[in-house]
Amino acid sequence: MKHHLTRWDPFALTPRPGTGHPLFRPSDTLQTSTWVPPLDLTERSDAFEVSVELPGLAADQIEVNYERGTLVVRGEKRTDSAASDGTWYRLERSRGAFSRAVRIAAPVNAEQISASFRDGVLTITLPKAAEAKRHQVQVTS
């Protein structure tokens, strides 16, 4: 007897690749990536700072998008592994495509987001929007 069990596919109702909202593309995160680069998120009084470890990548291999409160960093690390001759004794470094998504919990000034890449670390600064900044209220008597 044949069973009709269908695996639940959260993307079944999403548009075709390349159409619509970027977050609705079939996600690299769930399909091709085997690499989850470590990420730190820090909050300062005037900005959020996200840092991601991407050793060996070049700045032009990294794509950073911010939309509707979510920061998405994606890219691909290509290494010489397959092409190189010799004998491999260890292969611990991660390779291939990656995608990380972080929800930023407060409104940010999207126009002012900046990203820099140094020593294999991507640092993204997301300045808070005026309404999200902490401000002290004077108590008067």
Partner 1 sequence: MNAYTTMQQMLEMADDVRRAFGEGDPGGLYPPVDIRATEAEVVLVAELPGASRDDLVIEVEGRHLTLRGEKPGPAEAADATPVHRERRYGKFERTFELNFEVNREAIAADFRDGVLTVRLPKMEAARPRRIEVTGG
As measured in angstroms, the least distance from the Cβ of 102 to partner 1 is: 8
- 100 near 72, Cβ under 8 Å? yes
Which residue, among 124, 97, 123, 100, has the nearest Cα to 34 in the 3D structure? 97
Q: Which residue has the tokens 């470590």?
A: 38
DSSP 10-39: TTTTSPPTTSS-GGGSPPHHHHT------E
- Window 79-98: residues binding partner 1 (CB under 8 A): 79, 81, 84-94, 98
Contact status: 15 vs partner 1 (CB under 8 A): no
Which residue, among 27, 2, 41, 5, has the nearest Cα to 97 in the 3D structure? 27
List the one residue from 15, 110, 114, 120 that touches partner 1 (CB under 8 A): 120
Q: Give backbone dihedrals phi and psi of 121, rounded to 5 degrees, phi first.
A: -120, 125
Q: Which residue lies nearer to partner 1 by CB, 57 or 113? A: 57
Q: Which stretch binds partner 1 (CB under 8 A): 1-9, 37-45, 108-116, 124-132?
A: 37-45
Contact status: 63 vs partner 1 (CB under 8 A): no
Q: Which residues bind partner 1 (CB under 8 A)?
A: 10, 21, 23-24, 27, 29-30, 33-45, 48-49, 51, 53-58, 68-70, 72, 79, 81, 84-94, 98-103, 119-121
